Amino acid sequence: MDNIKLLEMILNAVAGPASGIVVALLAMSGFGWFLIKYLLPQQERELDKVLLSHEADRKTFEKSVSSMSKRLDKIEDDVSYIKGKI
């Protein structure tokens, strides 16, 4: 009979409310480990890709603005020439 009571005590301790907390803490620590080991490095790689893409876009934008500036200068010269004719 003592063995049965001891077994009941052990089962109550393992399956009781305190064990739910232990299981939750273990699950959260496992998720934290997964997050640190796999998800964060992946996010860092994706962020690096975005930054490289942004750099390329920035260079293209600068070229476009420079080209537009040259075209605007030519248009201004043409307008000045036309005004001089009028």
What is the model's pLDDT at position 31? 85
Handedness of CA 58, 60, 62, 68 (dihedral sign): negative
Alpha carbon of 14 to those of 19, 30, 69, 86: distances in Å? 6, 20, 76, 99
Series of mean pLDDT values for 10-residue runs along the chain (86 residues): 79 75 83 83 88 88 89 86 83
User: Domain locations in the chain?
Assistant: 2-85
Q: Model pTM?
A: 0.42
What is the model's pLDDT at position 25? 84
